[in-house]
Structure 1
């Protein structure tokens, strides 16, 4: 079932016309028919089932059938901060991090970043926000992550995150293996977590000092050194396992008898 986000409230029984872009996708791309069902997410992040009533003047009209008790979001709010990286790596990070549950993605120039966005940042963020929307629809999220650009790391320091982490290659080389598991697993539902990841060249010692002085805890991501686009995804996978899957280990499975 297709999944779309609307910037409006929804109520069962409503009959509405869908926005032009969604109508075009349903009608012209998917060749949807009257009677087909879709999922619509309201501006309150609530998912509803809807049915296509008619298609007229390039607009798809639907009836809202019912509210769905669906929430696929991580129990913690995770912000990923990435140093600027080359080519299409930011798009890959946004797409996959959205699928894996990130709440927000921030891109920032760092000392060892090769590329500079400068005057292109608005255009870059607009494109990345479109990538986030598409990935959120594909993965049936309740929320479209926000994508943001900051001029420097210091702009992070005033945000009141509950847990602040930085993935540091030297920590991994030194065998640090406890902080990721201990700190993320100990986070309460609803907690806000931010994790900083360097560009291709890594994070400079000066930046590590700056982050550490502002409450960021260095963490290793296992014994292997990962690419700049891989490390945030490893971290998000760990967040999923530690905060939403581990608690289900001791619950009895509901298997049908054969």
Structure 2
């Protein structure tokens, strides 16, 4: 069944209302009819199967026929901090990261970021990124839509460390040292089997400078490699996230 996120105010005791682009999608793209069923969630506490009753391009109503358990979220809350990449790579990170299970995304500036950041365009860019996260969350049957944070400076990102049980910076110069790989770093942190929060920090195309790596380590951020191969920035984010999901037991790990 198709899945849609709706506002809490549109989620009644017996009926739900779906509006905006989602209503258009139901009527014009999916060509649904009264009697068809969809999954709706408010992204917080409620999820249900609804049988459609009335349909128009502006608004669709449905009757709740089954309440469901919200079970689409991983045990670990993993946030990806991504150095701003070129082109549409950030969109790829958000889309695929949402599918795999990322809880949020923090774009940031660092020394080797080559993208010319324009604060005037940030609102539209964040809106687009949030829309991509919503669509990916619906496709992947997530229970919540990941948050997209405003772009942070490098120093502001380092200040985020204290909010997480573990923060890891993926640094390619550590790739030749197996004892400092991501798997070992996770297990040394003794997170297995617990509901934890993890910040995964991935650099832009040029990676991190030695100074940045040293600053991160001084803040209590652990340095880890992702193997012997040099990965593209968007690939590194997905590999690191997948490793964390596996180690948390999300994909049959410990």
TM-score by length of 2: 0.90
Task: State the Cα RMSD in Å.
Answer: 2.0
Question: Could you tell me which residue of structure 2 aligns to residue 153 of structure 1?
Answer: 154
Distance in structure 2 (CA, Å) of the matches to 1:199 and 1:26 = 38
Matched, 1:78 2:81: no
For the Cα contact (< 8 Å) 2:39–2:50, is it kept in 1? yes
Question: How far is 1:59 from its partner?
Answer: 2.2
Report the secondary structure of 2:234's partner residue: coil
How many residue pairs are counted as aligned between the two chains?
Answer: 248
Distance in structure 2 (CA, Å) of the matches to 1:179 and 1:83 = 20
Report the secondary structure of 1:18's partner residue: strand
Question: How far is 1:70 from its partner?
Answer: 4.0
Match of 2:242 among 215, 237, 240: 237
Question: How far is 1:105 from its partner?
Answer: 0.5
| Structure 2: segments with no counterpart, 5+ residues | none
Matched, 1:111 2:116: no
Distance in structure 2 (CA, Å) of the matches to 1:130 and 1:117 = 20
- Once the two structures are superposed, residues 65-109 of structure 1 have per-residue CA deviations (whole angstroms, 9 ceiling, x without a partner) of 121124121110001011111111000010000000000101111
Question: Could you tell me which residue of structure 2 aligns to residue 138 of structure 1?
Answer: 139
For the Cα contact (< 8 Å) 1:9–1:43, is it kept in 2? no
Distance in structure 1 (CA, Å) of the matches to 2:238 and 2:195 = 20
| Structure 1: segments with no counterpart, 5+ residues | 250-258
- Once the two structures are superposed, residues 128-153 of structure 1 have per-residue CA deviations (whole angstroms, 9 ceiling, x without a partner) of 11110110011010110011133312
Question: How far is 1:247 from its partner?
Answer: 5.7
Distance in structure 2 (CA, Å) of the matches to 1:103 and 1:166 = 17
Question: Could you tell me which residue of structure 2 aligns to residue 189 of structure 1?
Answer: 194
Distance in structure 1 (CA, Å) of the matches to 2:126 and 2:10 = 29
Comparing 55-64 and 90-99, the one that deviates more = 55-64
Distance in structure 2 (CA, Å) of the matches to 1:124 and 1:22 = 20
Question: Could you tell me which residue of structure 2 aligns to residue 167 of structure 1?
Answer: 170
Report the secondary structure of 2:135's partner residue: helix
TM-score by length of 1: 0.89
For the Cα contact (< 8 Å) 2:165–2:196, is it kept in 1? yes
For the Cα contact (< 8 Å) 1:12–1:67, is it kept in 2? no
Change (3 A) 1:36 1:165: same
For the Cα contact (< 8 Å) 2:172–2:230, is it kept in 1? yes
Distance in structure 2 (CA, Å) of the matches to 1:184 and 1:175 = 15
For the Cα contact (< 8 Å) 1:50–1:63, is it kept in 2? yes
Question: Could you tell me which residue of structure 1 aligns to residue 5 of structure 2?
Answer: 5
